[in-house]
Structure 1
Amino acid sequence: MRLRTAVALTAALALSLVSGCARGGTAGSSSDTVTYWLWDANQLPAYQDCAKDFEQRNPGLHVRITQMGWDDYWTKLTASFIAGTQPDVFTDHIQKFGQFADLQVLEPLDDLGIEESAYQPGLAANWIGQDGHRYGSPKDWDTVALFYNEEMAKDAGLTAGQLGDLTWNPEDGGTFEKAVARLTVDRNGRRGDEPGFDKNNVEVYGLATNGGGDGDGQTQWSTFTASAGWTYTDRKRWGTEYQYDSRTFQSVIKWYFGLAEKGYMAPFTDYNSQSNQANAQVAAGKAASAFDGAWMISTYAGFKGMKIATAVTPEGPTGKRATMMNGLADSVTKNAHNKQGALKWVKYLSSDECQRTVGRYGIVFPATPDGTEAAVAAYEKKGIDVSAFTEPVADKKDFTTFSYPITDHAADVYALMHPAMQDIYGNGTPVTSLDETNSQIDLILDQ
């Protein structure tokens, strides 16, 4: 049933998007206006500054920016392709890229002269489609680290040095599990590593929950599966077979969600994608730590009456630490109303001029080294140490960085993996159930 539903959704989306391509450009746009969509409200002021500079450099061209929340963003973007009201340029996500490229709603950017060496390693290469054309211009990047409450760590007797030198394994969890257990406190004041600990009545969880992780586990289990040597698919990019049926993967997932069964990690019922994410649990004092992305640095730093520090991800069985390194890009729509203006805007967005402007806001790490340097300096000015996020990018000896799985049919993979991971985490479904899910996914990729 799941397979038939997923294939039907893909077919319907493909038909609607392709048919939408025959219609006109962005509603309400004009020959001197470039329409640009993004989802992050925190970044809006930075890109408004970029737009002002761009307009001064290109007299007669104007940029109109629209910002909306994450869920609304993708719903409205898909609807805009169907209705023919798509923006000229939009912020693209690598998880969505494969399907958009396959549906031919993106404009090739080969003539923009994007040089991979001008950006942080790997960011530009990820946006090359299976047809060899470029469809995204590097925008920014992020990695994942462990945020933790300094006072709670001190009360638990854990130092910054210890938390920055954790190891883990799927057998006993290593020093990471011991630290999380130590940070956990039940309603009687007993810690998770003390006799009499009541896992059914926990006041403070050692680790917050960010949900089941769907098929990518970016801020949940991905750092563990990668540092155990597992990869999402059979190839780095455009894989044709997923590997959720791997015994390595399943052993890690069993251990990871087992932390909740032991009472060390907040249960699935404590997670709400809209109102009670990991950062909210830490802010409320319900969790002592959380894995989260660099885009959340300012959020954690802004918690009132609470000092939050960060640590690099734990070292795994491979002897390395791992973190997903996600990189966003800007894409031009195939039927952009102002295509020439759109191409100029995207070229400018990936330039050092705009990247440094964005970096100076200290909200994200821009894709160019100069932009990244500006961001690090901006964070330092705010008194925020971001080395847990930048070190994995600079140190390839001790760290492994990896991307979202880049494949076709991402929406179908999500449709299958989202409930599958929720069942494992929330309902205790055996991890071996992923064997069937993986088979269903591979059938879709074979279409």
Structure 2
Amino acid sequence: MRKKMAAGIASLLLVTLMAGCNSSNDGGGATDSGAQKSVTISYTIWDKNQQPAMEAIADAFTEQHPNIKVKVDAIPWGEYWTKMSAAAPAGMLPDVFWMHGGQFMKYAEGQFLEPITDKVQANEIDLNNYASNLVSIYTKDGQNYGIPKDFDTIGLAYNKELFDQANIPYPDNTWDYAKLAEVAKQLSQPDKGIYGFGAKLDTQAGYWNDMLANGGFILNDDMTKSGYDEMASIEALKARYQMILDKASPTHQQMTDTDSVEMFKSGKLAMIFDGSWDNGNLASSEIIKGKYDWAPLPKGKVKRGNIINGIGNVMSTKGKHKDEAWQFLKFLGSKEAAEITAEMGAAIPAFNNTQDAWVQNNPDLNLQIFIDQAADATPYPSGSKSYPVWFSKEAEIMSQAWGGAISIEEGAKKVAEMMNQAIEDAK
């Protein structure tokens, strides 16, 4: 019965995606003699907050290419990859769609993405317009598959009201991890359900940054060895978990029941690590709007750690209108599209020297910290065949440590062993 139910759900998801995503059609076909054929191509994203900006970009594109209309569909992150996974082998992926670094290898390996290397070599697009550490995220075996859309780094969001009430100065670039822990204790009022910091179980917007700052690493430079069992990494993980033990942070169970971002939005957390992509989400809360700001991540023993990642725009290898899809993909990578993204406050555009408008879109917030941290940030560690295997298992093991079933050190060493085996198996 469960197998039949699962098959039915998968079929339903695929039908839904086929109807909404791969909407390429002739749109009435050719008109007068010499007129171009009218087509509609699909563009699928996962962030509804960015949909207005993406639609504005699509409209600007259609103004220049009247025969090509673009249908923008937004599928929530929680459903996006389920639907894409069903659509890919069926040849029903959208014409153009968002790609995440953590999913890239799977789709490139499956030959579901159209390579654009020939376009790059023909100088149809210049990848030097984007930071090299973003271009590399969507490159495999020397082949280019994606055009960087935006980038994100991690910041320390803080509730100014809670700091004011405690008469504590706001975080700034002098803070280190000891100061973060100290102030988190001072701001915590567990009896009122208020905590100083959300020491959640998280990688990109969580302890990966701690590990890097403390001199540890996630993977070594050639991605052949895990860094979870390095003492510097274990020390950083223990320090984060200690804030839970000190009641300066909610428990793992509390943050499982209610995510730390939602706690922050409701005024129950004084500080969280969060990504630049989430600023619009925080600003949507009437409780916290106007009462929060951003600071750089604290300094560690070695450096200020930070993970940089970025969405890439890609096109399907099975699209019905590849020429038109390429024209749109190229436009998405243009300065004009980047400026629309920035001016509408959707995300930090990847195109060089177009980020200022994104910062100026929210003049009351210190968004410049996300730009400033990018230069020294570490790329999201997804560029290996083993990544999809070890990443899916990492949280299973670390959740046992965060829940208290095993020690932090034991959990970290188990993750390292699992990662190293996944790397070996992928050779």
Give the alignment's TM-score, normalised by structure 2.
Answer: 0.85
Q: Does 2:183 correspond to 1:179?
A: yes
Partner of 1:85: 92
Distance 1:115 1:99 in 2: 25
Q: 1:268 to 1:37 in 2, by over 3 A?
A: same
SS of match in other structure, 2:419: helix
Q: 1:322 to 1:444 in 2, by over 3 A?
A: closer
Q: Does 2:387 correspond to 1:410?
A: yes
Q: Does 2:24 correspond to 1:29?
A: yes
Give, in angstroms, the shift of residue 132 of structure 1: 0.4
Partner of 2:101: 94
Q: 1:409 to 1:34 in 2, by over 3 A?
A: farther
Partner of 1:166: 175
Distance 1:385 1:376 in 2: 8
Code of the residue aligned with 1:414 in structure 2: it is F
Give, in angstroms, the shift of residue 235 of structure 1: 2.1
Distance 1:56 1:363 in 2: 21
Q: 2:204 touches 2:380 (CA, 8 Å); kept in 1? A: no
Q: Does 2:404 correspond to 1:427?
A: yes
- Of 244, 247, 258, the match for 1:260: 244
- RMSD over aligned CA atoms reads 2.1
Q: Which stretch of structure 1 is more off in the superposition, 353-362 or 407-416?
A: 407-416
Partner of 1:16: none
Unaligned runs of 5+ in 1: 1-22, 169-173, 188-201
**Runs (4+) off by over 6 Å:** none
Q: 1:142 touches 1:389 (CA, 8 Å); kept in 2? A: yes
Distance 1:413 1:38 in 2: 26
Q: 1:233 touches 1:405 (CA, 8 Å); kept in 2? A: no
Unaligned runs of 5+ in 2: 1-17, 27-38
Give, in angstroms, the shift of residue 305 of structure 1: 4.8
- Of 72, 77, 84, the match for 1:70: 77
Code of the residue aligned with 1:165 in structure 2: it is T
Q: Does 2:227 correspond to 1:227?
A: no
Partner of 1:385: 366
Distance 2:361 2:111 in 1: 39
Q: Does 2:108 correspond to 1:125?
A: no
Superimposed CA distance per residue, residues 211-262 of structure 1 (whole angstroms, 9 cap, x where no aligned partner)? 422xxx11111221111222221226xx233222222212211221121111
Partner of 2:301: 317
- Of 181, 197, 207, the match for 1:207: 197
Code of the residue aligned with 2:236 in structure 1: it is V
Alignment of 1:146-165 (within 5 A): 146-160=156-170, 162-165=171-174
Code of the residue aligned with 1:220 in structure 2: it is G
Select the structure with the greater relative contact order (CA < 8 A; seq sep ≥ 6): 1
Code of the residue aligned with 2:216 in structure 1: it is W
SS of match in other structure, 1:220: helix
Distance 1:436 1:276 in 2: 27
Partner of 1:330: 313
Partner of 2:285: 303
Could you tell me the percent identity over the aligned residues?
Answer: 24
Superimposed CA distance per residue, residues 375-418 of structure 1 (whole angstroms, 9 cap, x where no aligned partner)? 122222xx33312212213xx5xx54432332214332133111
Q: 2:150 touches 2:349 (CA, 8 Å); kept in 1? A: yes
Q: 1:227 touches 1:321 (CA, 8 Å); kept in 2? A: yes
Q: 2:148 touches 2:310 (CA, 8 Å); kept in 1? A: yes
Q: 2:137 touches 2:382 (CA, 8 Å); kept in 1? A: no
Distance 2:163 2:127 in 1: 41
Give the alignment's TM-score, normalised by structure 1.
Answer: 0.81
Distance 1:435 1:305 in 2: 41
- Of 229, 234, 255, the match for 1:250: 234
SS of match in other structure, 1:427: coil
Alignment of 1:251-290 (within 5 A): 251-272=235-256, 276-290=258-272
Q: 2:397 touches 2:415 (CA, 8 Å); kept in 1? A: yes
Distance 1:147 1:208 in 2: 11
Code of the residue aligned with 1:297 in structure 2: it is N
- Of 315, 332, 349, the match for 1:349: 332
- Of 413, 416, 425, the match for 1:438: 416
Q: Which stretch of structure 1 is more off in the superposition, 67-76 or 414-423?
A: 414-423
Distance 2:317 2:71 in 1: 18
